[in-house]
Structure 1
Amino acid sequence: MAIFRGAGVALITPMHEDGSVNYEKLTEILEEQIAGGTDAIISCGTTGEAATLSEAEHMDVIRHSVRVTAHRIPVIAGTGSNSTETAVKLSKEAEEAGADGLLLVTPYYNKATQGGLYEHYKAVAESVSIPCILYNVPSRTGVTIQPETMARLYRDFENIVGVKDAGGDLAMSSRLMSLVDRDFLLYSGEDGIVLPLLSIGGSGVISVLSNIAPREMHGLCESWFKGDVEGARREQLRALALIRALFMEVNPIPVKAAMNLLGKEVGPLRLPLTEITEENREKLRAEMERYGLLPEGSGRG
């Protein structure tokens, strides 16, 4: 049940100045992503400010993304929750809306045991038929899905097909890949280590950087899959300084600022997220200039 191979974008959710979702702008950036070679749209994940969308908004954004994308590339809906009941409800609705797959973050705050994580994902997987990608991001959720638990879920449920790994632990990722077969989908959840994860059998990345550089992130993965290791290495290393800048403040603060610097007019963030500091905005602008996304000296005068 493969969903995509390459660079999927963890898409931002554009807002009007009053904080409401800007669906006209969402249409525009979806079309730009498709034209830019993005391999999949990930809707309503962390970067999409899912934590501050109401359930109604959450589903409206997913439905809109599915409708606009029209199956030209897959749409993967973020439907995870710290409430299993809510995760099941959102997942069913996303499947009914036509999503091609689900991204399921580990339950946050509860700090479930490995047994609890297994039962949580079992409940969601049994409620839908579309592919499910687990999302391991302990820095945000306070809990890690251990490789043995992921492998067990993969074995037991046909529609649990892989993981977005944002744990940053290459040894743990390698252990996971030793426990599963080659059909398992390992997606990097950190733009700075895409190539290392590809080297142990990864299928690509779910990328923040792809919001502003979709063609480049697609190209990094494509180079690897074509056997151009040196080309993939060059692109990974070239992007590192910009990737660091995109995480100077908590995601998605910098990436939304970056899109606005590009003239995309994607609007503000919802509290408790606040706008990037002026000092960090200038650092971000400088890295975007170095990477070639903005002309040199764009912030002067």
Structure 2
Amino acid sequence: MKDYTEIKSRLRGSITPVITPFKSNHDIDFERFVDLIQFQLENGTHGISVTGTSGEPSSLTLEEREQVMEKAMKTIDGRVPFVPGTGSTNHQETMRLTKKAEELGADAAMVIVPYYNKPNQQALYKHFKTVADSVEIPIIIYNIPGRTATNLHVDTLAKLNRDCPNIIGVKESNKDFEHVNRVLERCGRDFLLFSGIELLCYPMLAIGGVGSVSATANVLPGKVAQMHDAWFEGDVQTAQKLHYELMELNDVLFKDTNPAPVKAALGMMGKIEPVLRLPMDLPSKELQQEIQETLEKYGVSLQYA
């Protein structure tokens, strides 16, 4: 059986779910994508994820998702852990993308609870176990009931953890904090717990979590990374301070569906053309104005792509 101790020790801190930038004609802008990853690495981000919720995976073809993973893997070049999102509402697509992540040499794959289908717990167990059994790459399950309409129960997760050695953690975008506590109680304190809820990034560290996958880190990667660094260094006061400093930005970036506000913000920063593929679109002009005013409060240099 493969030993996952080493990779589990490296998967820590702020893993940024990098957005997928598009050109005005809606093609993927790979040049800006590379720049976004470099921006993350230059600002202390601890890991990179792509083609998760923030990367608009349901707006990408399978071939495009593979191309994004390949470009990210090449750009990161082993400098930080790479954890691409490989889940889909379709089981065979999930299998294909997870195997592709393994072929590329990714450090782990993040596999979302299937959305739209609303599978029961037995079906979820079979889905994740089949995927896990088909590869050796470590798997982090992504539970986001607000977008999938299905919650992966703690009992199901604990059973998967017991039966699948390569299921090493979970990203919980779950506002039920009691549920999140039960995850570590049932799966063990060495199970990797990541926050996917911005306002719970700090609290999850306090109960034994190892980090976060926060869309806000697209905009202020340094500050999000510093919060985690402070916590791991035992500087609780600084970690708390940064948690509250980030709150206003966290709030405004989730007043519309992610990643629309994040893309609007990155457009204002000159990092990308602020383009989403339908059926997603930019926030209202009123919210964009609020985003701009919030960025100014944080001292972010604004320009336009």
- Corresponding residue for residue 82 of structure 2: 75
- Corresponding residue for residue 259 of structure 1: 266
Within the candidate set 68, 72, 92, 1:61 is matched to 68
Which residue identity is paired with 2:214? Answer: S
Where structure 1 has 5 or more consecutive residues not aligned to the other structure, the ranges are: none
Moved over 4 A (4+): none
Return the alpha-carbon distance in structure 2 between the equivalents of residues 279 and 211 of structure 1: 22
Within the candidate set 106, 110, 114, 2:117 is matched to 110
Which residue identity is paired with 1:96? Answer: E
Return the alpha-carbon distance in structure 1 between the equivalents of residues 293 and 158 of structure 2: 42
Instruction: Report if the CA contact (8 A) 1:239-1:291 is conserved.
Output: no
Which residue identity is paired with 1:124? Answer: V
Instruction: Report if the CA contact (8 A) 1:194-1:205 is conserved.
Output: yes
| Number of residue pairs aligned between Structure 1 and Structure 2 | 297
Superposition map of 1:1-301 within 5 A: 1=4, 2=8, 3-294=10-301
Return the alpha-carbon distance in structure 2 between the equivalents of residues 150 and 222 of structure 1: 28
Kindly, what percent of the aligned residue pairs are identical? Answer: 36
Which residue identity is paired with 1:282? Answer: Q
Q: Give how far 1:94 is off.
A: 1.6
Q: Give how far 1:266 is off.
A: 3.7
Return the alpha-carbon distance in structure 2 between the equivalents of residues 194 and 93 of structure 1: 29
Q: Give how far 1:212 is off.
A: 1.0
1:16-49 CA distances to partner (integer Å, 9 max, x unpaired)? 1100001111111111111111111111011001
Q: Give how far 1:87 is off.
A: 0.6
1:117-173 CA distances to partner (integer Å, 9 max, x unpaired)? 110000110111111000000110010001111111111111100101001111110
Return the alpha-carbon distance in structure 1 between the equivalents of residues 235 and 155 of structure 2: 32
1:239-264 CA distances to partner (integer Å, 9 max, x unpaired)? 11110100111000000000011111
TM-score w.r.t. length of structure 2: 0.95
Where structure 2 has 5 or more consecutive residues not aligned to the other structure, the ranges are: none
